[in-house]
Structures are given as C-alpha cells and as structure tokens.
Amino acid sequence: MKKGRFIVLEGGEGAGKGMCIEYLKERLLNGRGDMIFTREPGGTPIAEKIRELLLSKDNNRMLPLTELFLFCGARAQHVNELIKPALESGKNVICDRFEASTMAYQVYGRQRPEYVDVFNQLNNIAKAGLELDAVILLEVAVTLGLNRKRKSRDGLCTRFDEEAIDFHRRVRAGFIEQYELAEKSSKDWYFIDTTMMGESAVKERVFEIVKKILEE
C-alpha cells in the first residue's frame, strides 16, 4: 500500500492558513476518503484539551518552558494517535501548523535560544520518526496579519493574539529563518508572500502546490 502524504501549512497570525484549509477541504474532499485535515495543537481529544490550556487567556502566567512541553506533548499524542496511523493506511494528511510553529513561537517569539536543543530532543521523540513531505509557509506583514486575525475572530483572541507586536515580529523572523535553512538543505518548503495577494489568489496557489504534491 502506498503511504499517504503529510503536508503542513505554516505562518504567523492572519497569514490565511485557516482560509486555505477550508478551501482545500472544498476542493479535495468531495467524497474522497483518503484525505484527513487536522491542526496543532489539537487533532485528538487529549491534544484538544491541551490546546485549550495553551490558548486560554486565563493562563497568561504560563511559563515558556511549560508551553514548550505542552506543545510537544500534544504533538506526541497527535502523531501517534492520528497522523502516523492515517499515513500508514494510505491516507493523506494536511495539518494546520506543526513543528515550525513551535520553533517560531516558543523559541524565537519567547526569545529562548537556550531551548533549541531541548525542543529538538522533545520534538524528535514526539514525531516518532515521522517525516514531512512538504511545508507551505504563508508569509504576511505582521500588522496586516494581526488586523486580519482580530477582524476574523470578531473580538475573540487567544493568549498569542494578544502578545506585543515585537513578539509577532520575532515569530515572523523565526519562520523566515527556518525557510532559508530548509532551502539550503533542499527540504520541500514552499514560500507564499500573501501581503499583496487577494484571497482567491492565495487559495489557488496553495491548492496548486498541494495538488502537485498529491499527484507525485
């Protein structure tokens, strides 16, 4: 049996990941039983409970190290309970955020370079040998992205939405640096600058990339 493909959409707040995921569902599901859409943190009952802890504004005293452990713990549950079994059964998995987000937010955003080794060790354990087939990075100017996000949520914000703008600038820098490193190592990352693109153009570009990967 052919193993499924694992594709991840990454990006900062308001980059358009959620919009693209919904569009991909419209274009790719259509009666197909070989597609699974999921998200991080979350994707399984236990990981979704961890998500609630991580995003709730009631937990604004959470330590950066606690955040890191919780994200990796949710990933371990997600990978082993949902993603790996799906891929091994021949299903394709498209995920809203994965390891690059943890590096961008919990290491770059939180200004914790000393966490890099800890993150790599925890992440490798959590992934249990899982390899990504492609990462699609949606780039957006920080102020534009935050404005989009706040409008789309009708005033409902998470802990991360309410971080200072400098935090989000560091997150953006973290994503870009990871993309540049991936380029040098010939990893399958795709970069889409959404800042000057309309929604339809962004959705179509993401769809084209995903369709190409699934057909390879």
The reply to whether 125 falls in a domain is: yes
- CA distances to 102, 119, 155 from 138, in Å: 16, 23, 23
Per residue in 155-184, pLDDT (tens digit) is: 567 889 889 999 999 999 999 999 999 987
The reply to whether 148 falls in a domain is: yes
Contact call for residues 171 and 104 (beta carbons, < 8 A):
yes
The reply to whether 172 falls in a domain is: yes
- Quote the pLDDT of residue 183: 84
Kindly tell me if the per-residue pLDDT of 31 is higher than 80.
no
**Closest to 9 measured CA to CA, from 170, 148, 133:** 133
Per residue in 42-82, pLDDT (tens digit) is: 999 999 999 999 999 999 999 999 999 999 999 999 999 99
The reply to whether 47 falls in a domain is: yes
The domain containing residue 90 runs over which residues? 6-215
- Quote the pLDDT of residue 73: 98
- Quote the pLDDT of residue 153: 58
Q: Which two tokens stand for residue 15?
A: 């980059």
- Quote the pLDDT of residue 169: 97
Which pairs count as long-range contacts for 81-84, CB under 8 Å and 24+ apart, including other chains?
81/44, 81/46, 81/47, 82/36, 82/38, 82/43, 82/44, 83/6, 83/38, 83/43, 83/130, 84/128, 84/130
The reply to whether 63 falls in a domain is: yes
* Angle, helices 64-78/116-127, rounded to nearest 10 degrees: 20
CATH at residue 127: 3.40.50.300
The count of domains in the chain is 1
Alpha carbons 135 and 78: distance in angstroms, whole number? 18
Per residue in 84-131, pLDDT (tens digit) is: 999 999 999 999 999 999 999 999 999 999 999 999 999 999 999 999
- Quote the pLDDT of residue 156: 63
The reply to whether 1 falls in a domain is: no
- Quote the pLDDT of residue 216: 81
- Quote the pLDDT of residue 124: 97
